Amino acid sequence: MGVQYQLRPAVWTALYHKACAAMDVILHLGSHRTGTTTFQSYLANNEAMLKRLGIVSWRPKRLRKGMMSGLLGRPDQITAHGFKRAQRSCGLIRMETDRMAKLGVEHLIVSEENMIGAMRNNLRHERLYPGLATRMERFRGAFADTCTRIVLAVRSYDEYWASGLGYAVAAGQSVPSNGQLDRLVTQPRRWRHLVTELSDAFPAAHIMVWPFEALAGQPEKQLRLMTGTNAPLPLKGARAWHNKGQSDADLHALVAERGEEAAMTRFTGDDSRWMPFDAAQRMALRAQYVSDIRWLKNGADGCASFIQSPDATKLTEEDQWLADAAKEQRAGPTRGHIHDGEESPPRQVG
Strand partners, 107: 24, 55
Structural domain boundaries enclosing 235:
9-329
Tens of pLDDT along the chain (350 residues) come to 444 445 555 554 555 444 445 799 999 999 999 999 999 999 999 999 999 999 999 999 999 988 998 898 887 777 777 788 889 999 999 999 999 999 999 999 999 999 999 999 999 999 999 999 999 999 999 999 999 999 999 999 999 999 999 999 999 999 999 999 999 999 999 999 999 999 999 999 999 999 999 888 889 999 999 999 988 887 775 555 555 667 888 888 888 888 888 888 888 888 888 999 999 999 999 999 999 999 999 999 999 999 976 443 344 445 454 545 545 554 444 433 334 443 333 333 32
Helix (H) or strand (E) holding 110: strand 107-111
Distance CA(231)–CA(228), nearest Å, equals: 9
Does 115 map to a domain? Answer: yes
Distance CA 44, CA 56 (A): 10
pTM, whole model, 2 decimals? 0.82
**Number of domains within the chain:** 1
**Cα separation values, 218 from 42, 59, 213, 242, 347, Å:** 10, 18, 11, 12, 20
Establish if 309 belongs to a structural domain. Answer: yes
Distance (Å, rounded) from C-alpha 214 to C-alpha 182? 28
Q: Please indicate, yes or no, if residue 275 is contained in any of the structural domains.
A: yes
Residue 4 falls within a domain, yes or no?
A: no
Residue 96 belongs to some domain of the structure: yes
The answer to the question of residue 110 being in a domain is yes
By C-alpha distance, which of 250, 223, 246, 248 is closest to 234? 223
Per the domain annotation, does 89 fall within a domain?
Answer: yes
